[in-house]
Amino acid sequence: MKLVKVKNYDQMSEQACDIVLDRINNLKKPVLGLATGSTPEGLYKQLINKYTNKETSFNNVTTFNLDEYIGLSHSHPNSYYTYMNEHLFNYIDIDSKNVNIPNGNVSDILKECSDYEKVISEHGSIDVQLLGLGSNGHIGFNEPGTPFSSRTHIVQLSESTRQANARFFESVDEVPTKAITMGIRTIMESNEIVVLVSGLKKSMALANLINGEVSEEFPASILQKHKNVTIIADEPALSKL
């Protein structure tokens, strides 16, 4: 794993933006894996700026989001569908046909999971997968204990993850209890993975990701086994290394 050490959140976002831009501008049909949460917001802002300044175009880009809550409609303010529109897609020239986000509001979620895997494999593989890091080591919504062999599946969100995400909702009771997420094997099949880590509250998780044993109890530890991972972390996040 390559570790890029930066001073702060803005520098982390810039470094990530450089990597994503390079891949978008150099691959014929780039396939990006996208994450949600607070961590990639700065990166998305920078990508929008690059598009506005005509330094890039997304018209040949395909995206696959990592995860989505189960039970929230597309129009719900806290669905990841809304998040992606508000933080990126509304401001760039991506073709909506090339945007893929698991739908957590269908009656047959199991079919949605297998269909999502099918569409990913029809595209070959994900060129660059962006990841944030949960404080408990989750990637996507793969909580501790998720088999490394998992593909897109339904998860029961842990109490700590629901608490961590409660800041986006009116109260923790409104945070869904379940989600649909790309599996760990799905993520590991990406050609390249870029992990963004910012802030003191991620410092223990980052130390475990880099130096901990590879264990399903800490999902992100599997990244030690991937051939092409870049971790971009800021000083507060690096403080426990």
Catalytic residues: 67, 136, 138, 143
Strand ranges of the sheet holding 67-69, from the earlier edge strand across to the other edge:
67-69, 178-181, 153-156
Cα 204 from Cα 220, distance rounded (Å) = 12
Least distance (Å) between residue 164 CB and ligand GLP: 7
63 binds ligand GLP (CB under 6 A): no
Least distance (Å) between residue 83 CB and ligand GLP: 10
* Residue 105 DSSP class: S
Least distance (Å) between residue 36 CB and ligand GLP: 5
Considering only the stretches 18-26, 30-38, 70-78, 85-93, report the one whose residues sit in contact with ligand GLP under the rule CB under 6 A: 30-38
Name residue, tokens 């404080």. 135
Q: Which of 16, 17, 32, 37 binds ligand GLP (CB under 6 A)?
A: 37
Distances (CA, A) of 233 to 36, 49, 54, 195: 17, 22, 28, 8
165 binds ligand GLP (CB under 6 A): yes
Q: Which of 64, 116, 141, 218 binds ligand GLP (CB under 6 A)?
A: 141
> Which lies closer to ligand GLP via its Cβ, residue 67 or residue 234?
67
Q: At what angle do helices 41-52 and 9-26 cross, to 10 degrees?
A: 50
